[in-house]
Amino acid sequence: MKMSKSGISSPRTPYLLLLPGIGFLFTFFIWPIANLAQTSTQTPVAGGDTGSYEQTLRWRNYIDAFVENKEQFGRSFLYASLATILALAIAYPLAYAIAFKAGKLKNVLLVLVVAPFFTSFLLRTIAWKQILGEQGFVVPTLRSLHIIAPSTTLTSSAFAVVAGMTYNFLPFMTLPLYASIDRIDPRTLEASGDLYANGFTTFRKVTFPLSLPGVVAGTLLTFIPAAGDYVNAAILGSPETKMIGNVIDSRFFKIVDYPTAAALSFTLMAAILVLVTVYIRKAGTEELV
């Protein structure tokens, strides 16, 4: 690495460092996205084979794709929102406990939080399917205690899909929350108590606003992958719980309808980007009360 005498490196150094990685991302991230955009307005070649398309700039592909799948779109955003809210509700007290109440156990508990990462998420999701399935012990127990009706199942339902997503993204929510709660000076919380704020007010006026960066990061890390997920829906759901990811997947592989799949992908990405931008604006500038 060549650097100049003054201790500040030559102006070329950063570009040399960036070139390979940025070049790679341009080739295998930007270009594919551009290519996908290009595919999204194609139409089938008249009389051609399955899977052969030509560029006709047919923007109606977007409208057709959306209208045809608006239910799945709605479901994706609904499930993802529910999973995000549930994960936040579960992860916040957990992160708070690790940051402020764990003492010497802090590191052990952090390892336990990331432990699910160490086993395949598919294995864990399938484990839930089997635990909550007809042959697991939960359903028969609940039935014999008359907590659920004999015909009710826990899997193959919207409940199972949302629960699976909540579970799978919980560490993504917990870690950023922990990072920002851990950074709070406990003396500011004491100061709040000293200044006549009870526990709940201290949380609302001091703890939560100070942990906001973690809340934003955690909800984004949960919401974005959840909105595009189709694995939980495929394993834990039923045809009635299909999400937009399932549609894109089947358009690509089963129906070989690349333009529709591309248009759907683009719509999903755009919708997420818009939502995320609005959300960051809102969380970043306005005081959440």
Judge residue 14's burial from the number of C-beta atoms within 10 Å of its C-beta, 0-12 exposed, 13-18 middle, 19 or more buried: exposed
Q: How many CB atoms lie within 10 A of CB 53?
A: 17
Distance CA 119, CA 134 (A): 24
- Look up residue 229 and give its amino acid: D
Judge residue 13's burial from the number of C-beta atoms within 10 Å of its C-beta, 0-12 exposed, 13-18 middle, 19 or more buried: middle
Q: Which segment (18-26, 62-70, 144-152, 154-162) binds other proteins by CB under 8 A? A: 18-26
Candidates 45, 59, 68, 101: give the one binding other proteins (CB under 8 A).
101
Residues 221-280, interacting with other proteins (CB under 8 A): 224-225, 227-231, 235, 245, 248-249, 252, 258, 261-262, 265-266, 268-269, 272-273, 276
Residue number, 74 or 146, with CB nearest to other proteins:
74
Give the number of residues in contact with other proteins, rule: CB under 8 A: 101
> If you ran DSSP here, which 8-state letter would residue 117 be given?
G
Distance CA 192, CA 197 (A): 6
Q: What are residue 3's DSSP bridge partners?
A: 9
Lay out the site mask for other proteins across 127-166 (x = CB under 8 A, - = otherwise).
xxxxx-x-x-------------------------------
Q: How far is the CB of 32 from other proteins (least distance, A)?
A: 4
Q: How far is the CB of 201 from other proteins (least distance, A)?
A: 6
- Does 86 help bind other proteins (rule: CB under 8 A)? no
Residue number, 20 or 239, with CB nearest to other proteins:
20
Candidates 44, 58, 81, 90: give the one binding other proteins (CB under 8 A).
90
> Dihedral of the CA atoms 129, 167, 245, 236 (nearest 10)?
10
Element (H, E) at 53: strand 53-55
- Does 176 help bind other proteins (rule: CB under 8 A)? no
Residue number, 78 or 126, with CB nearest to other proteins:
126
